[in-house]
Structure 1
Amino acid sequence: MPANDQPGAGAERPVPNILSAVRLPSSAHSSRSLGPRPLVRPPRIEPGMTIGIASPASAPPDDRLEQGIAILRARGYRVVLAPHARDRRGYLAGSDQDRAADLTGLFARPDVHAVFCSRGGYGACRMVDLVDWHVVRASPKAFVGFSDITTLHLAFERRARLATLHGPMVVTLGGGISAGAADCFWRMLERPVPFGEYAAAGARTLVPGIAEGPLAGGCLSLLSAAVGTPDWPDFRGRIVLIEDVGVPTYMVDRCLVQLARAGCLREAAGFVVGAATGWRDQERDPAEITPDDLWQELLAPLGRPAIVGFPFGHEPDPFTLPLGCLARLDAGRAVLEVLEPAVAAR
């Protein structure tokens, strides 16, 4: 309400919160606008082709890495490991320079047709600016990962205009996923047709309504950490994906507020929130604020169609989501539908 407009007698004043209090100039996003250029969809892959594996963040456990590689080979793919994919330096998979060189190198190789991340963890933010993005733009390939890899998804869109896949990593495959999750994963990579509707039984309505827009987002803590960087999230007109794991609820709160105060949420088309894996502080204290409380307080007032409980990311059986591809959210039915192929025909 403008400052010079006073409510009439007996009128209720709106309850202020962070969403109504934030005031940004209309040009707040102008310097980081993605512009009109469409994203490039990577070519499809098929058995007989080669998948390259990099470790841009933390080092993978050897046993699950080997199990994941075995699954890729059983599908009929050749597999090459980047030179430093098994390196270990504390919580990092080797030096920043080596991790960046590995990722660049896999995109530079004409005999590698897709790039899978071995795992997430931490460290993508330390190497993202060392990647040769000219090489990536010159040789678009399917790129798959989630969690800490959210940092790279943002950079692939911003710097290479490449659509990527928010989906299981090699150690995720090695740990075992359901047949339905595996079918979704391979359909996204191998078939240049729209995936259609997800059968997400646990999803439920937060705000009813219908929204269309490209998919964007990922791991909440990484999205909020990107504010103020060259890859600042631009969610205008997007269906925003939000999930995380093992974080206290107050940190979920802080990350959402950070995105709200930065103006990243108010022009989104809609929201798809993952299951609250590992966020249940109320199991220790029944009086604790819950993630559902946060969605009601910080997302619902935006009035955008929204669902919660959608299985992706850190969920045991995660759906693969094509970032940058057009989707339709029918929040009243708690249904998400992908309208564009994740990959292009060769």
Structure 2
Amino acid sequence: MKSTILPAPLKPGDLLRVIAPSGALREFDAFERSIEIWRSRGYCVEISPNIDQSWGYLADKDEIRRHQLAAAWHDPDCRGILCARGGFGSTRILESWDWHKNSTVPKWLIGFSDITALLWSLFNVGISSIHAPVLTTFANEPDWSRERLLNLVEGKQVEPLKGCGWGGGIATGILLPGNLTVATHLLGTPLQPDFEDVILAFEDVTEAPYRIDRMLTQWRLSGVLPNVRGIVLGGFTRCEPPANVPSFSVEEVLRDRLGDLGIPIVSDLPFGHGEQNAALPVGVQVILDGDQGILDVSPATITARAIL
């Protein structure tokens, strides 16, 4: 079973760098409040220059966003990278990108939604990261969710998550969480991970049921699902069918496209674009109980090798 390098736990006083690798920053109030939460925990947070720029729907031109990522990743004093927001654009900066260029000590990279491409790209080279709120959403998370993220990156225990079990027994595997749309667009590209022994965790937002159906059908046709040990489903936020149009519900689509796989599946876990976005580590061993509806990502189940 594949394992990943777990960056060293963060501690107050560590330097964190803020980058905008995807869409243009728009929610400035929430962004600033989130930064203050990290600073109030004792972290030194530095914001990349000109982070409020935009180039169309992107935060800036590809080479500038790529430079932001490189500057943070290769900074020997930086211990973690906080992504400003999602949107679209992270896959563009992964063209001609090499995580190992100018070799550096791995550090935490934190984000979700469009940041999925960065998280999965890191997984491909054996480095763990955190699927968790970006800075435009972190301040609006409930207290338990904010504390969960901080505890994870600080190497502390977190509680198992409880959802709706679909059956299928218990599986142990490597957790690979992400946005369904972004992840689907990685299939068949050099960024596609090896799904052997993986437990997938998907969420999405503003995708009509027929589009969820189309993406899950692509996963079925891709031939990778027989390698997967289990599936976790988070929030599918604002994914209702259009009014006055014949449709399945998103719940019916998920059951139809995934329910016959014969593996543990748990739905309705509190992560994604909704009001709760529980932090999930990427590339660590977890236990999924499809009967009880539990995902256990406590440190006792993590076998990733930490750099001390």
TM-score (norm 1): 0.83
1:117 Cα deviation after fit: 0.6
* Identity of matched residues, %: 30
Matches of 1:229 and 1:152 in 2, distance apart? 14
Structure 2 unaligned runs (5+)?
A: none
> 1:131: how far off?
3.3
Q: Is residue 75 of structure 2 the alignment partner of residue 113 of structure 1? A: no
Q: Does 1:292 align with 2:256?
A: no
2:129 is the alignment partner of 1:164 = yes
| CA RMSD across the alignment | 1.9
Bigger-Rg structure (1/2) = 1
- Give, in whole Å, the separation in 2 of the partners of 1:116 and 1:335: 28
- Residue 341 of structure 1: how far off its partner (Å): 7.0
Counterpart amino acid of residue 243 in structure 1: E
Alignment pair present for 1:182 and 2:146? yes
1:272-313, CA deviations, whole angstroms, 9 ceiling, x for partnerless residues? 01122111217x348520122122211111110101111112
Structure with the bigger percentage of strand = 2
Provide the C-alpha distance between the structure 2 equivalents of 1:281 and 1:256, rounded to a whole number of angstroms.
16
Which one of the candidate residues 100, 105, 126 is aligned to 2:92? 126
Matched, 1:344 2:306: yes
2:51 is the counterpart of 1:91: no
> Do the aligned partners of 1:188 and 1:341 also contact (CA within 8 Å) in 2?
no
Work out which of the residue numbers 56, 77, 102 in structure 1 matches 2:68. 102
Residues of 2 paired with 1:52 and 1:319: CA distance?
22
CA–CA distance in structure 2, aligned partners of residues 123 and 142 of structure 1: 20
Q: Would the alpha carbon gap of residues 39 and 91 (structure 1) be closer, same or farther in structure 2, given more than 3 Å must change?
A: same
Cα-to-partner distance string for 1:82-124 (whole Å, 9 max, x where unaligned): 2343221111010101101110110111221100111000001
2:209 touches 2:239 (CA, 8 Å); kept in 1? yes
Contact 2:14-2:44 within 8 A present in 1 as well: yes
- List per-residue Cα deviations over 1:145-200 (Å, max 9, x = no partner): 11001111111111x321111011111113x1111101211110102x553522x3
**In 2, are the aligned partners of 1:47 and 1:75 still within 8 Å (CA)?**
yes
Aligned pairs for 1:276-291 within 5 A: 276-281=236-241, 284-285=243-244, 287-291=246-250
The CA deviation at 1:137 is 5.1
Correspondence for 1:324: 283
- Is this contact kept in 2: 1:242–1:272, CA < 8 A? yes
TM-score by length of 2: 0.93
What secondary structure is seen at the aligned counterpart in 2 of 1:259?
Answer: helix
Q: Which residue of 1 aligns with 2:265?
A: 306
Q: Please state how far the C-alpha of 1:343 moved relative to its aligned partner.
A: 8.4
Structure 2 counterparts to residues 136-215 of structure 1, below 5 A = 138-158=104-124, 160-174=125-139, 176-191=140-155, 195-198=158-161, 200=162, 203-215=163-175
The separation in 2 between residues aligned to 1:318 and 1:136, in whole angstroms, is 34
| Counterparts of 1:98 and 1:329, CA distance in 2 | 40
Unaligned runs of 5+ residues in structure 1 are: 1-35
Length, aligned pairs only: 304
Task: Say if 1:194 and 1:342, in contact at 8 Å, map to a contact too.
Answer: no
Contact 1:190/1:343 (<8 A) preserved: no
Q: Secondary structure at the match of 1:134?
A: coil
CA contact (8 A) 1:167 1:320 kept: yes
SS in 2 for 1:181: helix
Deviations 1:195-233 (A, max 9, x none): 3522x3xx2122331111010131001111001211113
Alignment of 1:63-102 (within 5 A): 63-102=29-68
- Offset, 1:46: 1.1
